[in-house]
Structure 1
Amino acid sequence: MGVETLTMISATPSPFARMNRIALHEKGIPFELQNEVPWDSTTATRNYNPLEKLPILLFPDSENQEPVYDSAHIQNFIVTKYADKSPKLVTGDINLDLKARQLLTLSEGVLDAFVLIFWESKRPENKQSAEWLARQQRKIDGGLAAFESLCQSRQPKSSEYIINDTYTIADIAIACATAQIDFGSMRPGWREKYPELAKWYTKMEERDTFKKTYPVMFEVKDSVV
């Protein structure tokens, strides 16, 4: 019996939703993409997520399956609910899988900092907080340094993946975080500073599932800040 087509409410540049889209594509789970700008007054996000945030995963059988939201939870939902579909995106070792989820959290923290910098920069210059911006920049630099260290220490050295030579949610998360920094031109010259991360990331972006989900900027029409 086939899997029913799901609906992913997303925003075209969203790295958070991109992680979930990649996981769905990898597992061959059919879904339709419903693009939204979550800050616009016309957004439907409030109908499915009290926090009015994306991404949101919807199901045909809405009476028996409530919407699933928050990208990290959606990712864990996909891994758990569709465990019978390959790739597993986890190792099966509890300690390694806890590490993969920790790296998912780290990646989302880097992305949160990226988003906070973006919106702070939209305020009038005299209302921007230099201290706040510097704090977010440190998070990005700390994350990139951690990613580089992970790429340097992966075992075996020839592995394409971060954990135990297995393709996991950690690979997807770290690649999506790195891609967004690149997409936003946040760190010119980062490839020279983090050469192992650059080499690993370039290889990951060659996957078809990454190519078909690369972020596309949208226009925010309503005032946000």
Structure 2
Amino acid sequence: MRLIHAAASPFARKVRVLAAEAGLTPQIQLIDTAVLPIALNERVNALNPLGKVPVLEIDKGEVLFDSRVICEYLDSLHDQPRLIPSEPAARWRALRIAALADGLMDAALLVRYERAVRPAEYQWSEWVEGQMSKVYRALAALESNADELSKMPSIAHISVACALGYLDFRFSEIGWRDNHPELARFQESFAARESMRATIPG
């Protein structure tokens, strides 16, 4: 399998962390590529019409994209406890927390693109504030649901850890730990895992 990714992408990191937790890293060849909204990447576009990473090329010639789909696929390939729970109640709880973390990453990425890619004279501050309000609301909701992160590692833990890691990487100035002590404790513990240490963006 070949994972086309961007090292700075929190969605690609989520896939890599899940793969590591499932013991699948040796089976995956990493192909790092830059993908920006304003620049065409013909290889990525040929595999994913949306032009986004991560993209997983499966050896049989099949292609999967969207981190959620790739994670679901990878979680079907190992014999360890599933990272996406199969028991319905646990599954929906984990996927709900993961969706909240994904939404946080979506909003943060849009702000990053606005600030880093769009010329300063065209940047829309009200739009940025609207996206950041999603980030802050997601942080508050995750803090109030932090008890869900005290259980066995799952897609929820991985998604939240990658979302918080992205804030540390690109938005350290917001100091999210100051008002979210439960999330801070969770991140300190989960970020120490080998899967997280091996995928730190740089």
**TM-score, length of structure 1 as denominator length:** 0.82
Alignment of 1:45 onto 2:44: yes
Q: Report what 2:107 is aligned to.
A: 113
CA distance in 2, matches of 1:112, 1:42: 20
How much does 1:126 deviate? 2.8
How much does 1:173 deviate? 0.2
Q: Report what 2:88 is aligned to.
A: 94
CA RMSD of aligned residues (A): 1.6
Matched AA of 1:36: T
User: Does the CA-based 8 Å contact 1:8-1:33 persist in structure 2?
Assistant: yes
User: Does the CA-based 8 Å contact 2:95-2:156 persist in structure 1?
Assistant: yes
Matched AA of 1:48: L
Alignment of 1:212 onto 2:193: no
How much does 1:42 deviate? 4.8
Gaps of 5+ in 1: 1-5, 155-160, 217-225
Q: Report what 1:158 is aligned to.
A: none
User: Does the CA-based 8 Å contact 2:41-2:51 persist in structure 1?
Assistant: no
Question: How big is each residue's C-alpha offset from its partner over 1:137-172, in whole Å with a ceiling of 9 and x where there is no partner?
Answer: 101001111121122xx1xxxxxx616x22110000
How much does 1:72 deviate? 1.2
How much does 1:187 deviate? 4.4
Classify the secondary structure of the residue corresponding to 2:145: helix
Question: How big is each residue's C-alpha offset from its partner over 1:164-198, in whole Å with a ceiling of 9 and x where there is no partner?
Answer: x2211000000100110011134433222111110
Note closer, same or farther for the CA distance 1:42–1:192 as it changes in structure 2 (3 Å cut). closer
Decide which structure has greater helix share: 2
Note closer, same or farther for the CA distance 1:42–1:191 as it changes in structure 2 (3 Å cut). closer
Moved more, 107-116 or 85-94: 85-94
Aligned residues: 197
User: Does the CA-based 8 Å contact 1:15-1:180 persist in structure 2?
Assistant: yes
Q: 1:28 aligned to 11, 17, 23, which one?
A: 23
Gaps of 5+ in 2: none
% identity of equivalent residues: 30
Classify the secondary structure of the residue corresponding to 1:60: coil
Q: Report what 2:185 is aligned to.
A: 199
Matched AA of 1:46: N
